[in-house]
Structure 1
Amino acid sequence: MKHSVLMLALAGSLVTTAAQADTLLGLYIGADGWRTSTDGSFANDEQLQQFNFNDKTQSSYYVALEHPLPLLPNLRLQHNQLETNGVTALNASFSFAGETFAVDTDIANQVDLTNTDYVLYYEILDNDLLSLDLGINAKHINGSVAVADLGADGAVAVQDTSTVIPMLYSSAIVGLPLTGLELFANGSFVSYDGSRVYDMQAGVAYALLDNLAVDLRLKLGYRAVNLRLDDIDNLYADLDFKGAFAGVELHF
């Protein structure tokens, strides 16, 4: 009897989950252009040095696969360019990656924390009015931070970093009936051991095409990324990237 009840409960769970899953395979391909302003600091210890950064246009592109199998998560892969540079006049001596830079030195500073998101998620809700996804994200940061003396000394210091940061992922879309417009928000977040990382965006999308063969959406929104790193590969940082973005998404 207990065995039968357990089997019925499991079957009911599978049916309920299946009702929420995609009935057909769905492939999403998208790309964004993101104009960022950057503020922040970095060092090899907790005494962070503030730097000046130039505005820059970043690129981001992704592919996502949704399927009808109820117990297996959907997959999203997203590559995010995250680069900036600038020139800073040091107001104190600064040691980094084995080099020491004297006070009042003009140094070129460069940050490349380009990363890839590996997201596994489930569709909790999926209809024309509301879509909600929840999952986990493994954000692989693979880059470097560098400074160089612009004077006669010419010293260069480079700190490489490669790490995977586990994060929570969520995405929500609210449809606006009879308009072709959608409001969307998605992102990833984690905070642990003095580090905090978030990557959030929100905006509006317009369905330029919507038929059985392909959907085409144009997107406009605002994105904010914060990297507060506490001794990640001997790198301490508190960097904010934020600004407006525009993009396009195809759904097959």
Structure 2
Amino acid sequence: MRKLIIAMGGSLMIAAPFASADVLGVAANISYWDSDLSGEAGKKGDLVDLENELDLDSDSTANLSAYFEHPVPVLPNVRLNYTRIEQSGSGELSTQFDLLNGPVDSELELSQFDVTLYYEVLDNWVNLDLGLTARDLDGELTVQEATLGGEVSRTEVNGVIPMGYLAARFDLPLTGVSLGGEANLISFDGDSVYDYTAYGQYELSLLQLRAGYRQMGIDYEDSDDRLDIELGGPFVSAGLTF
């Protein structure tokens, strides 16, 4: 992990002198993500299928993001992103999971807060950003037997994960329309996390509208607990740029 962070940091220092924002820029947006979940959770070697056994379904997904760009070439720009996912369901275990059997009620809560430091490598009708993201990941799966006084199992994963950051956007001149994508990813020692977004964007004065598709995967082990999940689906967002 340390070698990966050093390599990414070196790449950022090389990229830093090439481009910077011409003026100060601030933006913030809120989005709705209609995501489907698949994958499994592990507890002390036991596995449970989140989709087929627990029948988890999306209750709410919140995503907030903001960035600050400046014309100082040596200092990185800053991007913040917060995502919270809540899913619940009622299902039935096909095998024993952490001493639980039969019908169960389940709830998955997943939150992540990203701090990204990045440089603008290109800044014209083709935009390219490179950077590093520190992701504070906090996930908990609660499974309870659907009987009075039933057993309860909690699977928890927590950690701050360093990730590479890449963003590209292609502007169609004089239209306010652009196409773009963003990616955060890392893979190390059996764990992997990725987060991809592809979108179309329209800007009118200070208003920024986006629609696209987001795919996120987490394969992360924390002591005896493990989450190996994927979420994907369309999203729409609205924001303001200054």
TM-score (norm 1): 0.84
- Alpha-carbon contact 1:35-1:56 (below 8 Å) kept: no
Residues 24 and 179 of structure 1: CA distance in aligned 2, closer, same or farther (over 3 Å): closer
Q: Cα distance, 1:60 vs. partner?
A: 0.5
Residues 200 and 35 of structure 1: CA distance in aligned 2, closer, same or farther (over 3 Å): same
Identity of aligned residues (%): 30
Q: Deviations over 1:119-146 (max 9, x none)?
A: 010100011x110000011110123221
The aligned counterpart of 2:72 is 69
Q: Cα distance, 1:47 vs. partner?
A: 4.4
Q: Cα distance, 1:46 vs. partner?
A: 4.8
Quick one: distance in 2 between partners of 1:235 and 1:121?
A: 32
The aligned counterpart of 1:165 is 161
- Alpha-carbon contact 1:140-1:163 (below 8 Å) kept: yes
The aligned counterpart of 1:43 is 42
The aligned counterpart of 1:111 is 108
1:175 aligns to what SS in structure 2?
strand
The aligned counterpart of 1:251 is 241
The reply on whether 1:32 has 2:23 as its aligned counterpart is no
Q: Cα distance, 1:233 vs. partner?
A: 4.3
The aligned counterpart of 2:86 is 83
The aligned counterpart of 2:211 is 220
* Most deviating of 140-149 and 40-49: 40-49
The reply on whether 1:124 has 2:134 as its aligned counterpart is no
The aligned counterpart of 2:3 is none
* Most deviating of 129-138 and 156-165: 156-165
- Alpha-carbon contact 2:47-2:97 (below 8 Å) kept: no
The reply on whether 1:235 has 2:231 as its aligned counterpart is no
Letter of the structure 1 residue corresponding to residue 92 of structure 2:
A
Quick one: distance in 2 between partners of 1:121 and 1:93?
A: 46
Larger radius of gyration: 1
2:68 aligns to what SS in structure 1?
strand
2:147 aligns to what SS in structure 1?
coil
**Structure 1 gap ranges (5+):** 1-12, 210-214
Aligned mate of 2:199, from 203, 207, 212: 203
Letter of the structure 1 residue corresponding to residue 65 of structure 2:
Y
2:208 aligns to what SS in structure 1?
strand
The aligned counterpart of 1:4 is none
**Structure 2 gap ranges (5+):** 1-12
Q: Cα distance, 1:153 vs. partner?
A: 4.1
Quick one: distance in 2 between partners of 1:30 and 1:155?
A: 41
| 1:134-145 correspondence runs (5 A) | 134-145=130-141
Quick one: distance in 2 between partners of 1:115 and 1:219?
A: 21
Letter of the structure 2 residue corresponding to residue 69 of structure 1:
V
The reply on whether 1:150 has 2:153 as its aligned counterpart is no
